[in-house]
Amino acid sequence: MDHKCGREAPDGAPDDATDWHRVWDGLGDALGGKWAFHVLRALDEGDAGFNELRRRVGGITAKTLSARLRELRCRGFVTRSVEATAPPSTSYALTDPGREFVGALRGLERAAASVNCDCDCCADESACRVVTVDAGRPAAMWDC
């Protein structure tokens, strides 16, 4: 066991169809808290102390940041190092699994940016139409 919370480190991809449920449930538990993705994304910019990380994330309270960092450390996404200076200096960094996970999130970030609608029509549900395509031709259209 190498995590602070005493759980075994994940050892890779699920082996069978039922394991993916466990993996995704664990991800939901680990990252379901508000701001977890923001903290990981901010650490992707580089190691940071608590206050610097709080500035990078923006809008997060010290209590919430502390809780998210503790959860992310427990799950093995983040490390914490303390230097014996006066006052003590604390730094947070992504672990290798954390960097790998953030890489996947960055891919999702790029995909989401490519499908974002920047027009006002999306706010108007009456303008929303779904078209199914059959052999390259519109086959059906209905309101979504």
Query: Is position 139 within any domain?
Result: no
> Does 136 fall in a domain?
no
Give the CA radius of gyration of the chain.
20
Determine the Cα–Cα distance for residues 74 and 99; give it in Å rounded to an integer.
Answer: 15
- Say if 45 falls within a structural domain: yes
Q: What is the pLDDT of residue 9?
A: 45
Number of independent structural domains in the chain? 1
Residue 72 lies in a domain: yes
pLDDT digits (tens, 9 = 90+) for 52-82: 999 999 999 999 999 999 999 998 999 999 9
Domain hosting 33: range is 19-118
Q: Which residue has the higher pLDDT, 129 or 109?
A: 109
* Residue 59 located in a structural domain: yes
CATH number for the domain including 80?
1.10.10.10
Token output for 64: 């919430």
Domain presence at residue 133: no
pLDDT tens digits, 106-118: 888 888 777 766 6
Name the DSSP class of 15: S
The whole-number pLDDT of residue 3 equals 45
Q: Across all residues in the chain, what is the average pLDDT?
A: 78
